[in-house]
Amino acid sequence: MTLDFLGTHQRTHMCGDLRSAHAGQSVILMGWVNRRRDHGDLVFLDLRDRSGITQVVVDKSESTEALAKAEAARPEFVVAAIGTVRQRIAGLENPNMPTGDIEVVVSELLLLSDAKTPPFSPAEDAIVNEELRLQYRYLDLRRPEMQANFLMRHKVAQAIRGQLSSEGFLEIETPMLTRSTPEGARDYLVPSRVHPGTFYALPQSPQIFKQILMVGGFDRYFQIARCFRDEDLRADRQPEFTQIDLEISFPTQETVFGVAERFLTAAFAAANVTIPTPFPRMTYDQAITKYGIDKPDMRLPHMAELTEVLTPELRESLRIEPALPVFGFVIPNVGELSGTARKSLLSEIRAFFGDSGLDALDITRLRTSEAFVPLAEEIGSHLNATTIAFNGNSFTTNDLAVVITPKLGTPALWNFDRQWIPKRIGALRIELAKKFADKHKLFDKTGTADDYRFLWVTDFPMYEFNEEKKTWDAAHHPFTSPHEDDIKSGALYNDKGSVRALAYDVVLNGLELGSGSIRIHRKDVQSEIFRSLGMTDEEARERFGFFLEALEYGTPPHGGIALGLDRIVMLLAGASSLREVIAFPKTAKAIDLMVQAPSEPTEQQMRDLHLKTAVRS
């Protein structure tokens, strides 16, 4: 088989563009053979490019040479089809294809590239083996599902750029090679050949640079920035990712919220989704109390606090710790459980909590005891209030009611966390919602605004306790401003656990889309924060001297936010993993299976970088 050269031929149409209106036109299509059907003197080729598929017909009566080439063609060959568009014969149309009313009768066929039999066909609807997909990513990317994901990603990114540009933001790039700064994860380090023994760090975010751009007077900055974090992976996390990064001078939180809501509205509109604004808001403490998590999934009913329902007498009778909170929640439409299923569920819940001291209160069993019927009814009324507030429907026996109580001796604090009980119960709520998702169907797409439930969470804790080091660490980056009242009260030093940050997250369907804060713009306050983290003035100068010096030259108040572009597109595409919307992702072990990275450097590269490897004993 001899392959052809393209010569001076130019494509006239994309494969997915042809319709009945093109009948009679001469066209040149180019793409991959998706499928081939040989009927002797007649060969049908489904020709595919990223726009779609067109059926081309190679007839011996039109060209014996073209027929010979069509007979030689196989799936994933690259061909050029030169011919005429014609209407398909009545009854032979394909209603499942946008181009199903027409076909192209070929007068000349060029075989531009051949192909080995692929390990899987891009024509397949689903390929189970993800490692195989990642190893042959170039084949995987040809699949229509993947092509649609990246078309959506492009449209979303363009909409964001357009919206921010229309509001006076300048797109400015920041360095990829920088110095290591604390961002909450390990840095990727890059050794310097020119300066032996020193290393650059790949940026975990453009945080310090965007703040310096505010010092530089740019007022409104944005960037669709590549970021790098050396951390353990999961479905919605990658070692390199893309975030929509912006910073504003002289903002309030309201300023940042308005900008973010407008560019998210534009981004979702690019995917034909309308979202209502403004987004609802709640504080971190409210989110923990009502949902047990700082990124609530608003598609589920919130928890009900039942602390006051359980009187001291009832607690003593039921062996419940007298001073700790009690919470309950509802998973809708689970249906009535059999006795065996109920016992199995109670066992699962107790295994989930382990030896923490939390236990499930069996409401069904309470109803069988005359003494506890009033308690069961009062608990039911509180749970009913949450379901009515959620969707207007009353709580019924078709809904699963779960009440969690602390056993006698349960600790009030766990790792210095005052809110550990609602957090553990909130985690159970999410697990049970996943377990019964096929019953309640609240995670199913409906095509309405309820599919995308946004929320702002504000007033996060400034510090979190590090149990291993027995120290208070910055819960965010150390450039986040605390509430002014908490600085004045002295809590910064006397009660770090109560200090609130001017930090905020935007949450969608239980996933954190992005985080931001109002920054510290005064050197004296920034130095105070470094000292409150146990950093000496000398250490602060060593690590952040350039930044502290920049703050001495007239720094405007500023703040901003960064949102994950990959995560936004993942949710819009209905994908289960970020790997479906990143062109060349890593595995859960941070390996690129296609190029086999990371790889060992050569001896010469190690010598150039003045490096040696040491084997751990």
Residue positions counted in the chain: 617
Q: Check if the beta carbon of residue 329 is closer than 8 Å to that of residue 425.
A: yes
Q: What is the pLDDT of residue 447?
A: 85
Separation CA 299–CA 452 (nearest Å): 9
Strand order in the sheet with 454-458: 170-171, 220-228, 240-249, 558-564, 511-518, 503-508, 454-458, 281-283
Its pTM stands at 0.90
Query: Which residues make beta-bridge pairs with 108?
Result: 82
In the structure encoding, which two tokens stand for residue 252, read together?
């309030």
Q: What is the pLDDT of residue 235?
A: 60
Collapse the DSSP code of 363 into the 3-class scheme (helix H, G, I; strand E, B; otherwise coil) and give the result.
Answer: helix
Instruction: Summarize pLDDT for 571-598 with one digit per residue, the tens.
Output: 999 998 999 999 999 998 899 999 999 9
Residues near 616 by Cβ (< 8 Å), separated by ≥ 6?
A: none
Q: What is the pLDDT of residue 184?
A: 66
Tell me: pLDDT of 135 over 90. Answer: yes
Tell me: pLDDT of 76 over 90. Answer: yes
Q: Give CA angle at 484 (478, 490), nearest 5°.
A: 85
Residues near 76 by Cβ (< 8 Å), separated by ≥ 6?
A: 32, 33, 115, 118, 121, 122, 139
How many Cβ atoms are within 10 Å of 576's Cβ, its own excluded? 10
Separation CA 155–CA 266 (nearest Å): 10
Tell me: pLDDT of 480 over 80. Answer: yes
Give how far Cα 227 sits from Cα of 243, 283, 387, Å: 7, 28, 41
Tell me: pLDDT of 616 over 80. Answer: no
Separation CA 11–CA 361 (nearest Å): 69
Q: What is the pLDDT of residue 182?
A: 62
Q: Check if the beta carbon of residue 361 is closer than 8 Å to that of residue 403.
A: yes
Instruction: Summarize pLDDT for 489-538 with one digit per residue, the tens.
Output: 888 878 888 899 999 999 999 999 999 999 999 988 888 888 888 888 88
In the block, tokens 């080995």 appear at 116
Q: What is the pLDDT of residue 201?
A: 95
Separation CA 240–CA 555 (nearest Å): 31
Separation CA 576–CA 570 (nearest Å): 7
Instruction: Summarize pLDDT for 279-334 with one digit per residue, the tens.
Output: 999 999 999 999 999 999 999 999 999 999 999 999 999 999 999 999 999 999 99
Q: Name the least confident of 131-135, 221-225, 337-341.
A: 337-341
User: Mean of the per-residue pLDDT values for the chain?
Assistant: 92
Distance from the Cα of residue 220 to its chain's centroid: 25
- Which range has the top average pLDDT, 34-38, 460-464, 477-481, 573-577? 34-38
Q: Give CA angle at 60 (59, 63), nearest 5°.
A: 90
Separation CA 287–CA 301 (nearest Å): 12
Amino acid at 337: L
Q: Check if the beta carbon of residue 347 is closer than 8 Å to that of residue 354.
A: no
